[in-house]
Structure 1
């Protein structure tokens, strides 16, 4: 695939929009063409979530839980409602060491792009209230591609500004392009249940934007809708407004990429996971899981003492601790992780059924399962549930 842009016109637009990085990295010598590498397969996950407020008491714990379960190298969080120094302090406690943050509009909005620098290089191109644009290079992979993260404002007039901005961005490059976020708009009547009738004019404006950007909807597995107003059945509204789009170049780079709508729990938006190599079954040698709830059990110090002997070496003590801790956890707590997965699977099943056949029974079942999940797997309640994974070969520090 060959890109032959109009370099002179593009440079002027890029300077006015502040896209100096693209200009310096791609336009130094006015090349006649750029080859887009094909067939590069990398294992990397990207996670998107509209959290509805980063000051929620469960916010950090939910982020850590999703990172542990899904291993994202990049995470996009929208509607954090926190910006500036306060956002920086929260991000310092999260398991990412790279970040780009947009400011809030009053007490609403804000968009965070977070990443792990050991996995990817992310370079900011531009950011506005509703969008962040950056280049991404996955380590041990040659291609550089564009990522655009979106939080479309609820007001139609502001979304129109976003659509125009995205159409302008599409004219500035021909990179492989991934666009994801909360677009606050549906593409068709199939994307909505309940509420007012879908506005044909609004959906056509959204579709025109995606067409001009040459975007493909990447589809999904999981529940059909990504947002709910959490009302009783007679007032219930369900919509698919959170999406991943990509242009053909990006899709060719990552033909195995798979999107999953994860269960909704502490937000009325579901997290969305994209796995660039598709979902893969866990390997036989799973890493050892240290559960923080163990520290609150009165019998845990005995396990540590039994594993640690004065004459034993450090490696031997670690292996002995791992063996004893697994056996003790099974006897005291049972298989906690399996229990959590079963509850989440039931929540996911209820939400998928609710999307197909909405009923008061399914709404009640979903609510009960989410309450069970929070009660059993929240520190200080039920049987607790935050895990931190460590490799057995690492030094364990009690």
Structure 2
């Protein structure tokens, strides 16, 4: 494992904190440490680098983020400001370079806006590079991420949620405690929140799908340390794409059932993240299943082609019933594997292609190829984010009584309260089934290798509870 510790430490120069960091470094063989809020002068960073037995160190401009790393990795700081440090990192045992953005976000909502703009910029310019943003974002994404205190106003989180969606980021989930921060007050006044998290883009999931986040006990600070463990290059299982011909096999459904119905283990977090973890486990299961069931299909076709030629030669030299039966048997297997190969090649050819077209320096559009040269355009994340900003601006103006609501009462309400309530309802199992079954069976598979045919072919009864989060 390639391990990184990320911790809002609230003063690095206390003996308990330093001892904890040294111990974590020793236990987990850490390659990199990100210290948030060290509360120490930047001139002291080299002293702490030596104390932590690290080889390199850097800081952002206001000294709120300190980074330490050893010679296992090569780290180049691409950009740093008051709320983030973005690094391009490489490791000898990880294929290619990847980018990490270490975040310590401001406490006030309006002060976090420059950080959100920066994340959107990174997402637009580096969408094909594995990218992870990790740290203390000082905001939650769900009311379940807070316990205690007054009820949380989700309006405070709308902009952050919009940034996550616009950047195409996915929360990696976690093992360990549910909350990462506590105000550490008396039992009747204590508040817990999940302020620290790690999020990655699709490219990261494809290259390092087994990245794991563990929340360690919050000894020495009011925040939990985050332990990020990345799978080394030779341990990364190659991604698979589920051919439709697999789904037709009698033993396929049994293999899927055995994998998906296993206990979720230590996984905690969003139900869809847990489902994603199950899909990753299923991919490994099906990879082993396919080797037992088919072996190397392309290799088998080449092998049977040679065997057919040998069998034909044997039949010509000795025209016996035994050689004739042998040729027929080999021919049958040869045809079987050719059909499998042909089905896979046809499926790959039919898959929908995604390509990116740059329109202007500030705007990008994604075109989804539908066949026949037709493309479906999707507005870029920057346009989406502008919508969130405008919505929040209008909401603030309303709260500050700077918008006269009286003239707006003359505008007829197109969406009734009943319609609005229906729009906010959680989809039923039947509605979800309808959506799943409307998927194009030949659609391009996602990072987990599962396409529309997989989800609709006799597997609904296995996956529906996971999709509903029940």
Note the C-alpha offset of 1:197.
2.3
Residues 333-352 of structure 1 mapped to structure 2, 5 A cutoff: none
Note the C-alpha offset of 1:94.
1.7
Looking at structure 2, the residues matched to 273 and 66 of structure 1 have their Cα atoms a distance apart, in angstroms, of: 9
Note the C-alpha offset of 1:84.
2.2
Deviations 1:197-249 (A, max 9, x none): 22222211111111122110000111000001111221010000000111111
Looking at structure 2, the residues matched to 100 and 94 of structure 1 have their Cα atoms a distance apart, in angstroms, of: 14
Deviations 1:247-304 (A, max 9, x none): 11101111122111111111111111121139xxxxxxxxxxxxxxxxxxxxxxxxxx
> Is contact 2:169–2:200 with CA below 8 Å preserved after alignment?
yes
Structure 2 match to 1:120: 73
Structure 2 match to 1:275: 229
- Residue 213 of structure 2 aligns to a residue whose secondary structure is strand
Looking at structure 2, the residues matched to 133 and 83 of structure 1 have their Cα atoms a distance apart, in angstroms, of: 21
Structure number with the higher helix fraction is 2
Note the C-alpha offset of 1:45.
1.0
| Equivalent residue in structure 2 for 1:217, among 157, 168, 171 | 171
1:227 correspondence with 2:181: yes
Deviations 1:81-132 (A, max 9, x none): 223212332223222112221243xxxx610121111x11111101101100
Structure 2 match to 1:95: 53
Which one scores higher on RCO, CA 8 angstroms, separation ≥ 6? 1
1:65 correspondence with 2:23: yes
Structure 2 match to 1:50: 8
Residues 1-398 of structure 1 mapped to structure 2, 5 A cutoff: 43-104=1-62, 110-117=64-71, 119-174=72-127, 175-277=129-231
Deviations 1:311-367 (A, max 9, x none): xxxxxxxxxxxxxxxxxxxxxxxxxxxxxxxxxxxxxxxxx9xxxxxxxxxxxxxxx
> Is contact 1:83–1:103 with CA below 8 Å preserved after alignment?
no
> Is contact 1:84–1:103 with CA below 8 Å preserved after alignment?
no
- Residue 223 of structure 1 aligns to a residue whose secondary structure is coil
The normalised TM-score by structure 1 is: 0.56
| Larger-gyration structure (1/2) | 2
Q: Which consecutive segments of 4 or more residues in structure 1 shift more than 4 A? A: none
Note the C-alpha offset of 1:58.
2.3
After superposition, the CA RMSD in angstroms is: 1.9
Structure 1 residues not aligned, in runs of 5+: 1-42, 279-351, 353-398
Looking at structure 2, the residues matched to 196 and 112 of structure 1 have their Cα atoms a distance apart, in angstroms, of: 33
> Is contact 1:261–1:272 with CA below 8 Å preserved after alignment?
yes
Q: How many pairs does the alignment contain?
A: 233
- Residue 136 of structure 1 aligns to a residue whose secondary structure is strand
